[in-house]
């Protein structure tokens, strides 16, 4: 009986540090090689302000007075690419293919292509895209402004992760007035 009690206490003591380690790693958003990150695989976690297929999206105004419709915020772990505030016009399959070419891992390129195909772009509007963030967090949205040129800026993350093992590439797709694109 005494051995049984000692064995139970020992296994309990060994289980606590293992559980704490698992919880700590999970809280940091760690991924082994990026393939286990559900953010990259779960396209329901995109942040559209409207249904990509909708013809009546909600409109926002950026800091520079630019009306825009946030189509989607798409992301994948360790997908590649480089951030740029200057958006790319996505008005053809070839333009989309060029835009997604730097995304060498995960399904971010496919997410962008699928969203592009599914989005009905109204007359007088143009879809543009930009890699707005590469880091631990996915921005909750973007702002669009035009001083000298059109820019897309990520909104600040309310509670940023202190560290991550693999960066998350975040792409914003928005519709703007065609006149805003030069």
Q: Between 3 and 168, whose confidence is greater?
A: 168
| Position 128 pLDDT exceeds 60 | yes
- Quick one: average pLDDT of 12-31? 41
- Cα 17 to Cα 13, 88, 139, distances in angstroms: 7, 48, 33
Q: Are 36 and 119 in contact (CB under 8 A)?
A: no
Spatial CA neighbour of 125 closest among 91, 171, 154: 91
105-115 pLDDT tens trace? 999 999 999 99
The HSE-up count of residue 74 (CA atoms within 13 Å, CB side) is 26
78-93 pLDDT tens trace? 999 999 989 999 999 9
| Position 169 pLDDT exceeds 80 | yes
User: Taking the chain, what is the end-to-end CA distance rounded to the nearest angstrom?
Assistant: 82
Q: Residue 143: how many CB atoms within 10 A of its CB?
A: 19
pLDDT category at 6 given cuts 50, 70, 90 is very low
Spatial CA neighbour of 85 closest among 30, 7, 37, 150: 150
pLDDT category at 1 given cuts 50, 70, 90 is low
């Amino acid at each position: 009986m005494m051995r049984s009690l000692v064995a139970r206490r020992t296994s309990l003591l060994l289980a606590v540090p293992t559980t704490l380690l698992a919880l700590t790693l999970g809280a940091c958003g760690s991924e082994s090689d990026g393939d286990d990150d559900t953010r990259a695989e779960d396209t329901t976690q995109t942040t559209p302000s409207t249904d990509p297929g909708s013809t009546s999206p909600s409109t926002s105004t950026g800091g520079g007075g630019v009306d825009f419709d946030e189509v989607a915020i798409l992301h994948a772990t360790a997908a590649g690419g480089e951030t740029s505030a200057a958006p790319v016009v996505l008005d053809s399959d070839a333009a989309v293919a060029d835009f997604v070419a730097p995304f060498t891992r995960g399904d971010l390129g496919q997410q962008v292509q699928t969203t592009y195909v599914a989005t009905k772009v109204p007359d007088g509007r143009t879809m543009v895209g930009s890699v707005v963030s590469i880091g631990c967090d996915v921005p909750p949205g973007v702002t669009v402004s035009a001083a000298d040129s059109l820019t897309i800026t990520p909104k600040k993350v309310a509670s940023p992760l202190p560290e991550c093992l693999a960066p998350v590439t975040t792409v914003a797709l928005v519709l703007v007035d065609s006149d805003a694109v030069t």
